[in-house]
Structure 1
Amino acid sequence: MSTKLALEHLGFGPCHHMVEVMENPAQPAHWTSIAAGRPVDWDAVFKGYNAQVDWPGAAVWQQTMVAFPEAKVIHTERPEEAWWNSFNITISKFFTNAPDMDLPPHVHDIFRTMSGWFLKNTFEDHTDRDCAIAAFRANNQAVRALVPAYRLLVFQVTDGWQPLCDFLDVPVPDIPFPRSNPRDEFWAHFGGEPD
């Protein structure tokens, strides 16, 4: 979310994010088609957006990198344990609990699609720390191997504005880099964190 807020502040918004899939009525049908392996019009999928972060878009980075050959790729990384700790109490916990949560029907549909597609394709077992970290490492290596260096910024939000602004060739804002509380913000979308 911090990267989304930063990109939007720099003028690269609106920025597509999982919240867009839940809140924009045109979005779920695109991702259902993508999950089913049907051909899609990437311009239509991202119509109205100037940037993309987070899942589900991050699950198709190889396709979108080809579909948008002029786009720059910002690959956010963090230390493995910090990533696992965050993932484990947000995304992994959500997918474990979603079937029993009181969610609107369209949100249940979206996450059933996501669970049967990118979660399954990305992680052998998203609840197992070692399996999840192995997938995290594999993705980081794939990005570094496949994205041409001139298009790639490997970025940690703790680096702040400077490397991001240098990469995007925009001035550094005179405000602090956005910081979000991913756990609280994540669970706020679903009415609170389950026990």
Structure 2
Amino acid sequence: MKVIGAGFGRTGTRSLKAALEILGFGPCYHMSTIIAEPYRVRQWLDVGEGRSRDWDALFTGFPSALDWPASAYWRELAEHYPEAKVVLTVRDPARWYDSVSETIFRSALEERRLSLRRRVTRWLVARRAPDFALYPRMARATVMDRVFDGRIDDRDHVLDVYERHAAEVRAAIPAERLLVFEVRDGWEPLCAFLGVPVPEAPFPQVNERAAFRAKRPHRLLRLIVRGR
């Protein structure tokens, strides 16, 4: 592991993932990796519920990792990979909250209010794709409960967690090992931090909200049920 992302989801992690892969630090582990390869859900459920934390096995073949759930374990990963550099992605807290509440948190809250139709869908998914059916439980164990104490519907609490998290990362990681990064800053600070040349290609700008809607878990659950 060469780069550990400590930033929360919805802080530009999809754009940074693309950037790291251009720079040669890929493939980059991301929540989208888990959605694309559902067997990884069980791996993270084991981590979240305290059964296993074999980081080397979990990240085999990935020289970088960003986004939840990996960033929820930034402290453990920074200790396990002492030579890896740490990137804390940040953005305006209010804008971050608007983004996360309309995407990740919205999906999680919907899980708490499952309709009969959704319960039937969940049952069918459990039969056809048992690993992916565990996704909501994994998300609760590794992010919603671990990071936010389950209080994702409390705006003030969520923003307080966001601010405290950034302060804790800054305090725990030595300055020479840490980059506090906004994706709008582009290539220069990232490349200088990683010690690589600035590429000629423009810095990737991935619309995370659109990417989430395209691969949101509920949408994939429906596709699984339909046999696609």
TM-score by length of 2: 0.79
Q: Would you say 1:151 and 2:164 are equivalent positions?
A: no
Residue 153 of structure 1 aligns to a residue whose secondary structure is strand
Q: Would you say 1:78 and 2:91 are equivalent positions?
A: yes
Q: Deviation at 1:77?
A: 0.5
Structure 1 vs Structure 2: percent identity of aligned residues? 39
Judge conservation of contact 1:30–1:45 (CA < 8 Å) in 2.
Answer: yes
Q: Would you say 1:128 and 2:154 are equivalent positions?
A: yes
Q: Deviation at 1:107?
A: 2.9
- Unaligned 5+ runs, structure 1: none
Q: Deviations over 1:50-109 (max 9, x none)?
A: 100000100101100011110000000011111111111111111112464557443331
Paired with 1:57 and 1:135, the residues of 2 have a C-alpha distance of 17
Q: Deviation at 1:173?
A: 1.0
Q: Deviation at 1:129?
A: 1.4
- Which of 38, 48, 62 matches 2:75? 62
Q: Deviation at 1:25?
A: 4.5
Q: Which protein has the larger Cα radius of gyration, Structure 1 or Structure 2?
A: 2
Equivalent residue for 2:4? none
Judge conservation of contact 1:98–1:108 (CA < 8 Å) in 2.
Answer: no
Which one-letter code corresponds to 2:146 in the other structure?
Answer: N
- Which of 107, 120, 140 matches 1:115? 140
- Which of 4, 8, 29 matches 2:42? 29
Which one-letter code corresponds to 1:114 in the other structure?
Answer: A
Paired with 1:27 and 1:177, the residues of 2 have a C-alpha distance of 29
- Which of 204, 212, 225 matches 1:178? 204
Equivalent residue for 2:8? none
Q: Deviation at 1:141?
A: 0.6
Residue 75 of structure 1 aligns to a residue whose secondary structure is strand
- Unaligned 5+ runs, structure 2: 1-13, 221-228
Which one-letter code corresponds to 2:77 in the other structure?
Answer: T
What is the CA RMSD across the aligned residues, in angstroms?
Answer: 1.7
Residue 154 of structure 1 aligns to a residue whose secondary structure is strand
Q: Deviation at 1:26?
A: 4.4
Change (3 A) 1:58 1:65: same
Q: Deviation at 1:117?
A: 3.7
Paired with 2:184 and 2:207, the residues of 1 have a C-alpha distance of 14
Q: How many residues align?
A: 192
Which one-letter code corresponds to 1:78 in the other structure?
Answer: R
TM-score by length of 1: 0.92
Which one-letter code corresponds to 2:200 in the other structure?
Answer: D
Paired with 1:152 and 1:138, the residues of 2 have a C-alpha distance of 17
Q: Deviations over 1:133-180 (max 9, x none)?
A: 001001001100101111100000010010000000111111211111
- Which of 3, 13, 19 matches 2:26? 13
Which of 114-123 and 58-67 deviates more?
Answer: 114-123
Judge conservation of contact 2:49–2:141 (CA < 8 Å) in 1.
Answer: no
